Chain A
């Protein structure tokens, strides 16, 4: 995997989680810029998924399990949209907290994804 992209995603996910978590803790309801933050993270995740697929097509080898890798890849891309859908069912400060949790989960998924790729 591309190291810089993995590291960038780590930083972005954690920053987004802190940002959304703080806004939620302050009692804010979801605003457009909150959704913008989520969208920005999602775009990066989609870029990573695209990069992973291109690397695989070009003959890149997953050292770990390919099935597990694909499952994690799907997880990284699906987590935020699903949480957003669920959270906006009742927009409140807790929507933001839910999204913050999802960002942290995605950060962990990205780490595991990179580890599976390298066979750790």
Chain B
């Protein structure tokens, strides 16, 4: 699968496999945003920490989606790294601290409610940004 073209110049993160990856990111951006909106509009006081994190997760997915689609590699890398830290931190906390996390976020239990896709997605995202990077010419 190693195209000669990618060995030097790199290619946009929105190209090839990126097309499909960004659809998955877009789905999470929209669903996390919708979920956070409903949670905050309906009963924010019930779980302020969890709901704030829901909104934060939504923002991260939206930024990551747009950055990947526009080949903004630096922003995309930062957003995806935050996403990875977020899912690991919230995943752990949601299991340990049930007081602050009485309600689910996208990242609760490492994204079990979403088939663990939130856990795998940042890894795939980072791999893809790395895979499509421009490399200095060898020799």
Contacts and interface: CB of A to CB of B under 8 A. Distances in A.
A87 B19 contact: yes
Interface string B25-45: 011001000100010000000
A83 B22 CA distance: 10
B56 to A, nearest CB: 20
A83 B8 CA distance: 30
A98 B38 contact: no
A95 B16 CA distance: 8
Q: Is the interface of B mostly helix, strand, loop or mixed?
A: helix
A98 B26 CA distance: 11
B24 interface: yes
A94 B38 contact: no
Contacts of A86: 19, 22-23, 26
A54 B6 CA distance: 53
A36 interface: no
B30 A101 contact: no
Contacts of A97: 17, 19-20
B134 interface: no
Instruction: Give the size range of A's interface with the partner.
Output: 20 to 34
B92 interface: no
A79 B31 CA distance: 12
Nearest to B24: A101
Contacts of B26: 82, 86
A68 interface: yes
Given A86-B22, A90-B15, A94-B16, 20 more contacts: A67-B38, A68-B38, A75-B30, A79-B27, A86-B19, A86-B23, A86-B26, A87-B23, A90-B14, A90-B16, A90-B19, A92-B16, A94-B18, A95-B19, A97-B19, A97-B20, A101-B24, A102-B23, A102-B27, A105-B27
21 contacts: A71-B34, A75-B30, A79-B27, A82-B26, A83-B23, A86-B26, A87-B19, A89-B19, A90-B15, A90-B16, A92-B16, A94-B16, A94-B18, A95-B19, A97-B17, A98-B19, A98-B23, A101-B20, A101-B23, A102-B23, A102-B27
Interface of B: 14-20, 22-24, 26-27, 30, 34, 38
